[in-house]
Every structure is written in structure tokens, then in C-alpha cells.
């Protein structure tokens, strides 16, 4: 069945450093790859997404890359700040008619001031 693997499960960085989170997916029909940020006690919220016809997308300090051949996608956060501390989820959803988004297990990011 569909599966999304996410690594690492925990990531600790110093303020100002970069953070990278990696995911792989199994369903070759997946064509939409969102990333969600969940702060403690809050709801998951979309921070960036990428579609399968695009290899890279950037929004200020956040960038995502997608390698469809290898079924890998990654989140890059540069110049990390303490407020970036949260759980980050990668996800994948499949092509036409698909009604479910499969989430990775999450990465708990700690940014130390």
C-alpha cells in the first residue's frame, strides 16, 4: 500500500543553522507533496507544497526539492529561528480521484537559541 517514510525523527540545530528533512514515497501515482508544520498543541498547517511537474520550489527561508525518479522529496529551512521549533510532516497524495493524503511520521525540530 501507500507509504511515506520521513527522516530524521528528531533534529536539533543551533539558531542560524540549516535544517534538512527527507522523505520517500512508495506510490508512483503520487503527484502532490505538501509539508505541514505543527506547533505544540496546535493544528497542522501547510507551509509549502510542490507538484510532480516541478523539481524545486522556494518561499523565503523554506525550500522543497522533488526527485520523482527516486521518489524522494526534501524540506530545507535556512537561517533557522527558535520559532521554527515544531513537528514537521511531509505528505503525499495521488493522482486524479485520490482522496487521501498519506503523512510521514513527522520530524521534531528543535532550534536552540
Given 21, 106, 109, 111, the residue binding another protein (CB under 8 A) = 106
Which residues inside 6-45 make contact with another protein, applying CB under 8 A?
Answer: 30-32, 34, 36, 38, 42-45
Give the CA angle between residues 69, 86, 33 to the nearest 5°.
Answer: 25
Q: Do residues 11 and 21 touch, judged by C-beta distance below 8 A?
A: yes
Q: Which residue, 85 or 106, has its beta carbon nearer to another protein?
A: 106
Cβ-in-10-Å burial (0-12, 13-18, 19+) of 27 comes to middle
Residues lying near another protein in the complex (CB under 8 A) are found at 30-32, 34, 36, 38, 42-46, 49, 87, 89, 93-103, 105-106, 108
Amino acid at each position: 500500500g501507500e507509504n511515506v517514510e520521513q527522516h530524521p525523527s528528531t533534529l536539533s540545530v543551533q539558531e542560524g543553522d540549516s535544517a534538512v528533512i527527507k522523505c520517500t514515497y512508495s506510490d508512483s501515482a503520487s503527484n502532490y507533496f505538501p509539508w505541514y508544520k505543527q506547533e505544540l498543541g496546535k493544528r497542522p498547517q501547510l507551509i509549502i507544497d510542490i507538484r510532480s511537474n516541478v523539481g524545486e520550489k522556494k518561499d523565503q527561508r523554506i525550500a522543497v526539492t522533488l526527485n520523482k525518479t527516486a521518489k524522494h522529496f526534501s524540506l530545507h529551512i535556512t537561517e533557522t529561528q527558535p520559532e521554527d521549533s515544531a513537528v514537521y510532516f511531509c505528505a503525499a497524495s495521488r493522482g486524479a480521484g485520490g482522496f487521501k493524503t498519506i503523512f510521514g511520521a513527522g520530524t521534531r525540530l528543535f532550534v536552540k537559541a
